[in-house]
Amino acid sequence: MIQRHKTGKSEYQQIFLQRSVIVPDRIKMARYEKTPELGPRILFFSGGTALKPTSKTLIKYTHNSFHLITPFDSGGSSAEIRKAFQMLSIGDLRNRLMALADQSVKGNPNVYSFFSFRLPVNQGPDLLLQRVRNMADGINSLIDEIPTPMRDIICNHLNNFLHFMPGDFDLRGANMGNLVLTAGYLNNNRQIDTVLYLFSRLVEARGQVRPVVTDNLHLGARLSNSAVVVGQDRITAGFACREKSPIKSLFLSASPDVPEPVDVDISRETGENILRAEVICYPMGSFFTSVIANLLPRGVGRAIAANRCPKVYIPNTFLDVEQFGLSLGDAVKSIYDCLKANGNSDDLTDYINFILLDMTRIKYPYELELERLRNLGIEILDTSLVTEESFPYIDPESLCRVLLSLT
């Protein structure tokens, strides 16, 4: 049982800080598993694939999780789509949508299979184009297995993509789900929320997925030695390590090549979803490009500070090249600095309450600075997160138990 420290907070916060937390709370777990459609609203700021296994597990307990995803990826097949259509990145959105999809017989597993399929990288452009045309015409085993009217919707979107596609578009390694979502985006006046809603229904997604913003922007990083780089793929590839200087801050750029910082606001709906969350989670993954990137738009910090729910940071249990030269305390400061810049509170605990660690099973590859964090009012929750089977990564079931117990 964890008893949080009392501090000089508001009346609500004093009540919250004195609350006892049982981890795992078996009564809550049983209740949520019995009626996941009534499960709690856990909100994640993330991107990429690190949270995918946890998302797949979470749908056993709640169908109401909300995932704000970074739309700034500039590598792989997403880069080809962004370059061709001057749009946000949709690869991580599609990835999380698939993680939340109902893959049981009651769901649409054949749609899931199609949305997860990638074209080979070792075939010529003419053959690849013909394969996509065949799918658009319904002449493919992946399409044959999908029942109507879903099959007709997907085929129509593929035909639309072929209509929009530039002649020099590189289909090697293209994900079919990304092509369909791109067509829907272009065909719906570039309204990605409408498209995500439609395809969430098609795959019976047990949770909501949205980009933190819908603008066509790119990530930039400033290092402590004043070096600057633009492009999520360049940051993730270890720019800080090569320059031997920690990342100091991120910014959003209008250009993929030139550092032109811009400000962008979250939508009213995104702010409302942050305010309604019962737990806010900054999960494991690429620290800067998956977590901090989501916190950059104006309005995120203000909404988080206004919500008095538990706010949880889950540090990586493995080496993250983006966190070169940073301690755990430095990472927490990065979250705080980013949120404070667009928030309305100077109090760190308005943005982070808990840090989840497993110090029994993991030797963290950076300095933890636990006393520094406790002095800031953060509760260190040292609990079982890593199993023998999952080592050195966090076990999805164990993590779900902890997060659900905090609701």
Encoded amino acid at 335, one letter: I
Q: Helices (H) and strands (E) in the chain — how many of each? A: 18, 12
Angstrom distance (rounded) from CA 315 to CA 244: 22
pLDDT given for residue 105 in this prediction: 54
Angstrom distance (rounded) from CA 348 to CA 334: 11
Angstrom distance (rounded) from CA 319 to CA 326: 11
Angstrom distance (rounded) from CA 44 to CA 55: 10
Angstrom distance (rounded) from CA 313 to CA 320: 15
Angstrom distance (rounded) from CA 109 to CA 151: 13
- Residues of the chain short of pLDDT 50, as ranges, are 1-18
Q: Is the dihedral of CA 160, 193, 106, 26 positive or negative?
A: positive
pLDDT given for residue 174 in this prediction: 95
pLDDT given for residue 7 in this prediction: 40
Angstrom distance (rounded) from CA 53 to CA 250: 27
What is the phi/psi pair of residue 298, to 5°? -65, 140
Whether the CB-CB separation of 39 and 277 falls below 8 Å is answered with no
pLDDT given for residue 12 in this prediction: 36
Angstrom distance (rounded) from CA 302 to CA 304: 6
pLDDT given for residue 78 in this prediction: 84
Q: What is the pTM for the complete model shown?
A: 0.92
pLDDT given for residue 8 in this prediction: 42
pLDDT given for residue 3 in this prediction: 36
pLDDT given for residue 15 in this prediction: 39
